[in-house]
Structure 1
Amino acid sequence: MDILLALSRFVDRINEVIGKSVSWLILASVLISAGNAVIRKTFDISSNAWLEVQWYLYGTVFLLAAAYTLQKNEHVRIDFISNMLTKRTRDWVDLICHIVFLLPFTFLITYLAVPWVLKSMNSGEISANAGGLILWPAKIMVLIGFTLLTLQGFSEIIKRWAVIIGRIDDPMETHINPPSVEEMLAGMPREQGK
């Protein structure tokens, strides 16, 4: 189990670094979008390439940060139902859902993405839009993103099982019930002179 937990920590660290790093691409996408809008309105010219760069950047963030989102337990879930369950039941539901739903889906997409990306790279596939960009960089992000999500799925299964058998404390406890603003302020030391 120690080897699996070490592997889980390694995967978590990789996805944390990637997830935090790609968040800056949102700023780049916004700046490109704003610049493109200003040029289009001011000079009445536009470029499909700049429009495509925007969705390349946004898609990259979405795909490469998905594993980090899963790691931080920020993915979509039905909290209303989840909060009615006991902690142990939630752990089992997470474990089973990761095994039955997440991994088969991410395996399938990863498996199907390999020939799709290779075909695009080998053919030099270009966007059908006038002045469009090559497509394989965007397509390779699908492959990388789902590979990272698969690895994170394994990491979450390892951690959830370790929590269930009592090997580790739940790393999600601080994320599930974070302290309220009032609780955080109550725990803070008062400033001097007040």
Structure 2
Amino acid sequence: MEQLANALDRVSRAVGAVTIWFALAMVLLQFVIVLLRYVFGYSSIFLNEGVLYLHASVFMLGAGYTLMVNGHVRVDIYYAKVSQRRQAMIDLFGHVVLLGGSLVMLLIYSWPTVARSWAILEGPISVGGIPASFLLKSLIPVFCVLVLLQGLSALLRDCLRFSGRTSEGAK
């Protein structure tokens, strides 16, 4: 189980490494947009949408990595006071019912929209924008799959913790 969890973590790490470059590209592109607008008086919807696409990519693709490094917001009022075994039970419930259930539903309900968008190769959001809204919408199922994979890794580690064979994860 731990080997499979480690393999799934490697996927999240690889996607996280790419996402870091998207964040840098987003900052640099925003700098160029500000420079062009306020120094040269030039504005571009295409470039502005580029920031939007990169911003969406950072959040949607980086969510699985963030789950892996335990970077999501938690309220640990009760959780911190209980035993490792009880924490594993809480995490098992959260990963299966809450995380898994909501992501599977999001995947099911978003798929028709994404498929229609690809079928017509949906164009830009705004006139003069990036002619690839279908790529932006594709981030939704990719997000679901990446977070589900990382959720599976966390679930495997929860099972190991619950059984007493402890696995704190590859952080």
Tell me the TM-score normalised to structure 1 length: 0.81
| Alpha-carbon shift at residue 123 of structure 1 (Å) | 1.1
> Percent of aligned positions with the same letter in both sequences?
28
In 2, Cα distance between the equivalents of 1:47 and 1:112?
33
Match of 1:170 in 2: 168
Cα–Cα, structure 1 residues 105 and 8, in superposed 2: closer, same or farther, change >3 Å?
same
Q: Compute the RMSD of aligned alpha carbons.
A: 1.7
- Residue 148 of structure 1 aligns to which amino acid in structure 2? L
Match of 2:81 in 1: 84
| Alpha-carbon shift at residue 10 of structure 1 (Å) | 1.3
Match of 2:32 in 1: 35
Superposed counterparts of 1:1-194, under 5 Å: 4-133=1-130, 134-171=132-169
Match of 1:183 in 2: none
Aligned to 2:129, the other structure's residue is in SS state coil
Return the index of the structure with the highest Cα Rg.
1
Tell me the TM-score normalised to structure 2 length: 0.91
- Residue 16 of structure 1 aligns to which amino acid in structure 2? R
- Residue 45 of structure 2 aligns to which amino acid in structure 1? N
Q: Could you report, residue by residue, the CA deviation over 1:97-119 in whole angstroms, capped at 9, with x for unpaired residues?
A: 11110001111112223222221
Cα–Cα, structure 1 residues 168 and 88, in superposed 2: closer, same or farther, change >3 Å?
closer
- Residue 70 of structure 2 aligns to which amino acid in structure 1? N
| Alpha-carbon shift at residue 87 of structure 1 (Å) | 2.8
In 1, Cα distance between the equivalents of 2:160 and 2:62?
25
- Residue 131 of structure 1 aligns to which amino acid in structure 2? G
> What are structure 2's unaligned runs of at least 5 residues?
none
- Residue 164 of structure 1 aligns to which amino acid in structure 2? F
In 1, Cα distance between the equivalents of 2:84 and 2:37?
54
Q: Could you report, residue by residue, the CA deviation over 1:137-193 in whole angstroms, capped at 9, with x for unpaired residues?
A: 111122111111111111111110111102343337xx6xxxxxxxxxxxxxxxxxx
Runs of 4+ aligned structure 1 residues displaced above 6 Å come to none
In 1, Cα distance between the equivalents of 2:160 and 2:83?
17
